[in-house]
Amino acid sequence: MLVGIVRFILGFVAAVLVAGFVQVLFVAGLDGVRADGPVAVESMGLLILLAATQSAVFSAPFAVLAALVAAWLPTRSRLYFLTAGLVIGLGGFFAQHVGESGPHTILNRYALAAYALSGLAAGFAYWLAGVPKSARKAAASSSET
């Protein structure tokens, strides 16, 4: 039980850090990744942590729900966690859109792609960090047969 909780926390931290990284890459672009880019590496690190914090605040209840469903149904497949991450990411996008007022809106394809890709990346990171390796191998071998 305690190992499962620690595994969830580590997987969740990895997922929100990856989601923050993807969000910052969408904002800074590939030019910002270089050491001599327009955004300093230290600033990018701070932006990643800030984005990860915002991702964690929004996604924590949904991640707990997804982890409980995965534990209840013994689901350990990569597809489940990618789908859960995608749904949580899209939920964040639509929550941001609903909270807007005025003529400026986040409703565009670029922002949608940023939220969807960060959700997929976070789901994959959670699957890597939060699901035991033996369960990942068992899920992969059962899907092949």
Give the residue extent of every domain in the chain: 2-144
For 65-90, write each residue's pLDDT tens digit.
999 998 888 888 899 999 999 999 99
Q: Which two tokens stand for residue 46?
A: 């701070």
Q: Which of the pair, 91 or 35, is modelled with greater confidence? A: 91
Q: How confident is the model at residue 60 (pLDDT cuts 50, 70, 90)?
A: very high
Q: Which of the pair, 143 or 74, is modelled with greater confidence? A: 74
Question: CA-CA distance, 18 to 48, in Å (whole number)?
Answer: 9
| Res 96: pLDDT | 87
Q: Give SS3 for 115.
A: helix
| Res 141: pLDDT | 67
pTM: 0.84
> What letter would DSSP give residue 31?
G
Q: Dihedral of CA 79/81/84/87: which sign?
A: negative
Helices (H), the chain: 2-28, 41-72, 78-98, 109-130, 133-144
Question: CA-CA distance, 119 to 139, in Å (whole number)?
Answer: 21
Question: CA-CA distance, 4 to 2, in Å (whole number)?
Answer: 5
